[in-house]
């Protein structure tokens, strides 16, 4: 009987801690991310432009979204956010490349459907075990190509 009581208390403790799971939204510097060695080794050779950044004139475009998650266990929030953001950007670049577009433009963070547009910062969700990044962007074909 004592074992069943122990299991019940353990289960309640686990459920209580899961209910109080951390889900912080971080706003981090974009240039630091893009200048990192990780970005240089992960990102594709497809130009990316965040909301508000100037780019060549767009002839046609297509809006796309992506949402990525990564393991945040035993990582700082910033490290987990860096990896998940690079993963999300690479997905957008890959989509542009595969669909014949020239670039990804007007990139905005969209974590939990809260749009955040900036040419100098991005947002990421950081929890105890998982970090996530969601993005909206336009795949663009430039007019001068």
5: tokens are 């009581």
Would residue 102 count as lying in a domain?
Answer: yes
Would residue 12 count as lying in a domain?
Answer: no
Q: What is the CA radius of gyration of the chain?
A: 19
Beta strands in the chain (DSSP E): 23-29, 48-50, 58-71, 103-109, 121-127, 130-142
Give the domain extent around 111. Answer: 23-142
* Model pLDDT for residues 52-80, shown as the tens digit of each residue: 999 999 999 999 999 999 999 999 999 99
Q: How would you classify the pairing of strands 48-50 and 103-109?
A: parallel
Give the contacts of 14 (CB within 8 A, at least 6 positions apart). Answer: none
Would residue 128 count as lying in a domain?
Answer: yes
Would residue 18 count as lying in a domain?
Answer: no
Would residue 119 count as lying in a domain?
Answer: yes
pTM higher than the cut 0.75: yes
Would residue 9 count as lying in a domain?
Answer: no
* Model pLDDT for residues 90-116, shown as the tens digit of each residue: 999 999 999 999 999 999 999 999 999
We report the CATH number of the domain holding residue 93 as 3.30.110
């Amino acid at each position: 009987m004592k074992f069943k009581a122990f299991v019940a208390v353990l289960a309640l403790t686990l459920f209580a801690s899961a209910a109080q799971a951390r889900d912080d939204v971080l706003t981090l510097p974009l240039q630091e991310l893009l200048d990192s060695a990780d970005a240089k080794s992960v990102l594709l050779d497809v130009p990316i432009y965040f909301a508000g950044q100037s780019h060549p004139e767009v002839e046609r475009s297509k809006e796309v979204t992506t949402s990525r998650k990564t393991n945040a266990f035993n990582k700082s929030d910033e490290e987990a956010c860096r990896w998940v953001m690079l993963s999300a950007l690479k997905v957008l670049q890959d989509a542009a490349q595969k669909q014949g577009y020239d670039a990804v433009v007007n990139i905005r963070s969209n974590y939990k459907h809260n749009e955040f547009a900036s040419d100098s910062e991005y947002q990421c969700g950081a929890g105890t075990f998982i970090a996530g990044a969601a993005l909206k962007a336009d795949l663009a074909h430039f007019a001068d190509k």
